Amino acid sequence: MRLVTKEKLQELQKRSSSIRNICIMAHVDHGKTTLADSLVACNGIISSRLAGKLRYMDSRKDEQERGITMKSSSIALFHKLGESNEFLINLIDSPGHVDFSSEVSTAVRLCDGAIVLVDVVEGVCPQTKVCLKQAWEENIKMVLVLNKMDRLIVEMKLTPLDAYIHLTQIMEQVNAVMGEMFASSVLGKAETAEETEKKSKSSSSNVYDWSSGLEDVDDSNLYFSPDQGNVIFASAVDGWGFEVKHFAKIFSKKMNMDESLLEKTLWGDYYFNSKTKQITKGAQLKAKKPLFVQLILESLWSLYDTVIIRKDKEKIPKIAESLGIKLSPRDLRHTDCKVQLQALFSQWLPLANAILDMVCEKLPSPLDLSDEKVDKLFCVPSTSLDNLPDEIKRLKSAFKECSISDEAPVTVFISKMFPVDRKNLPINKQRPLTAEEIAQRREMAKQRHAEKLLNLSSKAPDESSSSAGNASPMVVSEGQEDIKQEPEVTVDDDAFIAFARVFSGTLKQGQQLYVLGPKHDPCKALTKFRDGKEIDPSLTLKDLKSGQHISVATVSDVFLLMGRELEVLEEAPAGNIIGIGGLEEHVLKSATLSTSIGCPSFKESQSSLMGEMAIFRVAVEPKNPSEMPALVKGLRLLNQADAAVQVLVQETGEHVLATAGGVHLERCLVDLRERYAKIEINASEPIVPFRETVVHPPKVDMVNEVIQEHNTSVKKVKEDGSDDDGLITVTTPNKRSVLKIRAEPLPENVTDLLLKSGDAIRAMARYHDQRNVPEDEARLKMENLRLESDAAGSEHVPTSTLPGKILSSVEDLRMKLKKEFSQAGKEWEGAENNVWSYGPKRCGPNILLNKIPNAPNLNFWNETSASKGISDEKSEQLSKYSGSFVNGFQLATLAGPLCEEPMMGVCFVVEDWTIMDLVEDETTESGATSMPYGPLSGQIMSGVKEACRKAFQAQPQRLMAAMYSCSIQVNAEVLGLDITLENKDILLENLEISGNVSIATQWNLGKVGISNGSGKSWESQGISSIASEKIFVVTQKSR
């Protein structure tokens, strides 16, 4: 029975300071959903006996079958802290599997706090680090739960002291990750600040400040430590958890000591000196038991020992009495010792209380949004913060105050759309009848029965049989009537509900709001709007043309998210995570709703882009070709429902589904078959993407002999225009332009850095685009602008200054590039200053390097590549055609010469480029200009493309295949055994295994997926976890 009514939750929704929006994050299988069960059970939504077994938040069938979470889902919980402090907690359970990391980022974006779980046996795993990083990047406050403590006792059979040492090590691992992130962010900030300072002062003083900036920054709140009250030790499966504070309270009475002193000393190197009767430091040195071991762990160990290991039933009542607990006779009689254990713990150290108390005390409410987070969420990419128009400033202050008044502008962020079976929508659900209605129905049934009897008795016995025959059509007609009365919905359909958070104002059912797409630019929209351009209210998503990002929608429903259920609300005040109905025609994956058109749009987070890397592709087709339209519709719905999925239609007409990995793919196919398309579908074998790259010429051959100079293949390529060391010279057909390009492998670290920094480069490139391409148009625009501003009599505000956000991330990238290049060797030193472009798509992991003598203005970093530093006629010529040059490079890197796959890790060094002036005589003599070959810009573009491809071919070429880089944790028992993963045998024989170790290995993405779904379970094979990450690795020699 639910203990809290909807009305109570609604009342709390209005008190922003009493709301906590939190998310549970961890590596896969560390126990998030099990923990959520305990929290759900404490609100009476599920029985406490089922907590930990039901995994209530895993509502999908495949989630239950496979035992992993695939979608994040939210539930509203009530908690009372102390006597009178009531809280509403919107809890989101997120998946831990690497394939679903986009689900985590969509959840994190809406939260203010996070519970990070770590399995104490496995320790910090790759996804744990990812979670910590995601939370850090989103400025989310975290608390730590060290889960599965029972495994230390029952499985690992550690002594309490060993367990304590083990726990301190795990705490150190977690804090090391925090420290690393903290240091890099502080150093990053210090470096950019220093750079700007340097620029402005142009180094007037010769005293260099050697301090890194780390010393001055307060990091005391950063780390997890039990004495700070942000760590809980728990076993989600057995339903217990505690903070040291809890024991401090108990022992302060028992030992007659100060509670706060105990709080500080219960964790750490302190022991109880029995002579002086005082707590003293230095337990390790004196070989004493730390207080944590003596007072806490030993009691836990002895409880487990009695109940689980020795199964000593006699002693249980005594233990219960000593703990001041009353067990019911039913529990005492129970044959399963786990039930008794849970009964004891549920009263002694109830998990839900410990967790929710800490959440309410330590995690922030929506009112405590940090400035940094507000800036991040409320960011207008094309303007710096100081230049914001007044309207946006007003929106921002309402946003920051989380104001719920009716006058406040409404801002709602939608982070994903999720499907709900229409049958399960509250409107289509049967409402429980009230007592009156039940009585009424009973009365009607009685009457009907009486009538029937009367009819029967009035008819002759011979007629009765025929009337029985007639009865059936009557029943049918009644049934038909019933069907007619049902609401007219196609019940087997899905409704898409927006997963959203109200940031300011109060969202009301029936309200009309602007829907702002992810690419919406508030400044532009405001100007247009002022010019009298109205938004057509009839437009939906599919009517929007490119460049249009605004539509108007009516909120048909507001829902309270209750895990598997939705409940109807009339309104939702700021600060709450809710579901919104009626937007499927307006929102694809994410969007912003607002009463004002000047509201900046909600950007997809960087980590969601980073994590998804949709490289696992299959071609799909309907089994029955005539069902193509159903497939197309299904793919469209799937695309809407899943942030990490990409649906592509190839030139051949093939439909390709790109997913984040094997498990994700399977889930998508199930969804497509059963939910969205509802047809049989054939999926091809996974198409594994390749990347093309070049490597350094090998120094030794296959039999390890040093390759002689004259044998190297590189040197021989003469006929294609390359000279001895791979320098390619290409002349445009009209002979006006000559260019010389060489390909070189980029240092590995630089490639990695570029892959990670896609966002910064993309932002900068987009900014360049806005400014420079197409050149004539831009010039026109600039002139218009000038005219306009002159007319208005105002000073021309340079709209071109790089917004601060982009500037700092670009500066950061430049610093990092500098570091990596200088570490890569002498030949690369200073290369970062000559970067001209990145490719493909202007942000990829390949570089175009400008080493043209006297053409320094062809540079990626220049704010305005076309207008700065123009020195002479030559470079002016080059700048003019720079766009074509870069485009040629983009084309070449998009499809390499080996198999038309994108390139990766290649640096194209442009050693020279000249453009000759038109020679007048030639033109007149031949009677034609250069026109037969088309415009020069086109010639340059194809020339560059050709030169890049040839330069690439002049080096040893390699294909790179996508691989899973895995670390597998196994138990010692599997030593020397074969294990099977996805039908592929992986021999662990040759690997050294001792205890719980992780093995790093790489698998070809195409052959195996990492999944514990098929065949034998991981556990039965002795594997406790597999972590994987997708990378590209050079695998094949192509020549």
Ligand X SMILES: Nc1nc2c(ncn2[C@@H]2O[C@H](COP(=O)(O)OP(=O)(O)OP(=O)(O)O)[C@@H](O)[C@H]2O)c(=O)[nH]1
Q: Which residues bind ligand X (CB under 6 A)?
A: 26, 28-34, 55, 67-69, 95-97, 147-148, 150-151, 235-237
Whether 497 contacts 587, CB under 8 Å = no
Q: Give 637-641 contacts, CB < 8 A, sequence gap 24+.
A: 637/419, 637/494, 637/496, 637/675, 637/676, 638/668, 638/671, 638/672, 638/676, 639/588, 639/589, 640/417, 640/496, 640/584, 640/588, 640/589, 641/417, 641/418, 641/419, 641/496, 641/671, 641/676
Whether 710 contacts 869, CB under 8 Å = no
Please give the structure tokens belonging to residue 1003. Answer: 């698998």
Q: Which does 28 bind (CB under 5 to 8 A by kind): ligand X, Mg ion, none?
A: ligand X
Q: Which of these, 426, 416, 494, lies nearest to 71 by C-alpha position?
A: 416
Which residue's CB is nearer to ligand X, number 120 or number 414? 120
Q: Which does 617 bind (CB under 5 to 8 A by kind): ligand X, Mg ion, none?
A: none
Q: Which does 266 bind (CB under 5 to 8 A by kind): ligand X, Mg ion, none?
A: none
What minimum distance in Å lies between the beta carbon of 384 and ligand X?
Answer: 40
Q: Which does 29 bind (CB under 5 to 8 A by kind): Mg ion, ligand X, none?
A: ligand X
What minimum distance in Å lies between the beta carbon of 886 and ligand X?
Answer: 43
What are phi and psi for residue 272, nearest 5 degrees? Answer: -95, 115
In whole angstroms, what separates CA 168 from the centre of its chain? 29
Which residue's CB is nearer to ligand X, number 148 or number 549? 148
Which residue's CB is nearer to ligand X, number 90 or number 94? 94
Which residue's CB is nearer to ligand X, number 70 or number 941? 70
Which residue's CB is nearer to ligand X, number 148 or number 501? 148
What minimum distance in Å lies between the beta carbon of 91 and Mg ion?
Answer: 13
Which residue's CB is nearer to ligand X, number 29 or number 243? 29
Whether 800 contacts 863, CB under 8 Å = yes
Instruction: Measure the N-to-C terminal CA separation of the chain; round to a whole number of Å.
Output: 70
What are phi and psi for residue 705, nearest 5 degrees? Answer: -100, 145
- Please give the helix or strand (H or E) that residue 650 lies within, else none: none
Which residue's CB is nearer to Mg ion, number 69 or number 875? 69
What minimum distance in Å lies between the beta carbon of 487 and ligand X?
Answer: 35
What minimum distance in Å lies between the beta carbon of 739 and Mg ion?
Answer: 56
DSSP 122: T
Which residue's CB is nearer to ligand X, number 959 or number 1023? 1023
Q: Which does 760 bind (CB under 5 to 8 A by kind): ligand X, Mg ion, none?
A: none
Counting DSSP H helices and E strands in the chain, the numbers are: 30, 34
Instruction: Give the helix ranges, DSSP H, for 824-916.
Output: 873-894
What minimum distance in Å lies between the beta carbon of 236 and ligand X?
Answer: 4
Which residue's CB is nearer to ligand X, number 97 or number 664? 97
Which residue's CB is nearer to ligand X, number 190 or number 670? 670
Interaction site with Mg ion (CB under 5 A): 32-33, 69
Which residue's CB is nearer to ligand X, number 26 or number 753? 26
Which residue's CB is nearer to ligand X, number 20 or number 30? 30
- Please give the helix or strand (H or E) that residue 24 lies within, else none: strand 19-26
Q: Which does 19 bind (CB under 5 to 8 A by kind): ligand X, Mg ion, none?
A: none
What minimum distance in Å lies between the beta carbon of 311 and ligand X?
Answer: 18
In whole angstroms, give the CA distance from residue 728 to residue 380.
44
What minimum distance in Å lies between the beta carbon of 41 and Mg ion?
Answer: 16
Q: Which does 236 bind (CB under 5 to 8 A by kind): Mg ion, ligand X, none?
A: ligand X
Which residue's CB is nearer to ligand X, number 243 or number 692? 243
Angle at 396 between CA 394 and CA 399, to 5 degrees: 115
The residues that bridge with 385 in the sheet, in sequence order, are none
What minimum distance in Å lies between the beta carbon of 172 and ligand X?
Answer: 21
Q: Which does 520 bind (CB under 5 to 8 A by kind): Mg ion, ligand X, none?
A: none
What minimum distance in Å lies between the beta carbon of 230 and ligand X?
Answer: 19
In whole angstroms, give the CA distance from residue 213 to residue 1013.
49
Q: Which does 12 bind (CB under 5 to 8 A by kind): ligand X, Mg ion, none?
A: none
Q: Which does 97 bind (CB under 5 to 8 A by kind): ligand X, Mg ion, none?
A: ligand X
In whole angstroms, give the CA distance from residue 499 to residue 609.
19
Q: From residue 960, how far is each of 223, 656, 688, 691, 1032 by CA, in Å?
A: 40, 21, 11, 5, 6
The residues that bridge with 846 in the sheet, in sequence order, are 839
The 3-state DSSP class for residue 839 equals strand
Whether 381 contacts 803, CB under 8 Å = yes
Q: Which does 747 bind (CB under 5 to 8 A by kind): Mg ion, ligand X, none?
A: none
In whole angstroms, give the CA distance from residue 317 to residue 332.
8
What minimum distance in Å lies between the beta carbon of 991 and ligand X?
Answer: 25
Q: Which does 150 bind (CB under 5 to 8 A by kind): Mg ion, ligand X, none?
A: ligand X
Which residue's CB is nearer to ligand X, number 153 or number 727? 153
| b (16+ CB within 10 A) / e for 586-602 | bbbbbbbbbbbbbbbbb
Q: Which does 958 bind (CB under 5 to 8 A by kind): ligand X, Mg ion, none?
A: none
In whole angstroms, give the CA distance from residue 291 to residue 227.
13
What minimum distance in Å lies between the beta carbon of 313 and ligand X?
Answer: 22
Whether 714 contacts 697, CB under 8 Å = yes
Q: Which does 31 bind (CB under 5 to 8 A by kind): ligand X, Mg ion, none?
A: ligand X
What minimum distance in Å lies between the beta carbon of 33 and Mg ion?
Answer: 3
Which residue's CB is nearer to ligand X, number 63 or number 112? 63
Which residue's CB is nearer to Mg ion, number 69 or number 772? 69
Task: Encode 740-805 in three state secondary structure.
Answer: EEEEEECCHHHHHHHHHCHHHHHHHHHHHHHHHCCHHHHHHHHHHHHHHHHHHCCCCCCCCCCCHH
**Closest CB to Mg ion belongs to which residue?**
69
What minimum distance in Å lies between the beta carbon of 341 and ligand X?
Answer: 12
The residues that bridge with 838 in the sheet, in sequence order, are 847
In whole angstroms, give the CA distance from residue 660 to residue 670.
15
Q: Which does 741 bind (CB under 5 to 8 A by kind): Mg ion, ligand X, none?
A: none
In whole angstroms, give the CA distance from residue 558 to residue 555.
7
What minimum distance in Å lies between the beta carbon of 1026 and ligand X?
Answer: 12
Q: Which does 148 bind (CB under 5 to 8 A by kind): ligand X, Mg ion, none?
A: ligand X
Whether 574 contacts 581, CB under 8 Å = no
What minimum distance in Å lies between the beta carbon of 31 and ligand X?
Answer: 3
In whole angstroms, give the CA distance from residue 496 to residue 29.
28
**Closest CB to ligand X belongs to which residue?**
96
Whether 99 contacts 611, CB under 8 Å = no
Q: Which does 235 bind (CB under 5 to 8 A by kind): ligand X, Mg ion, none?
A: ligand X
In whole angstroms, give the CA distance from residue 581 to residue 554.
9
What minimum distance in Å lies between the beta carbon of 298 and Mg ion?
Answer: 32
Which residue's CB is nearer to ligand X, number 96 or number 505? 96
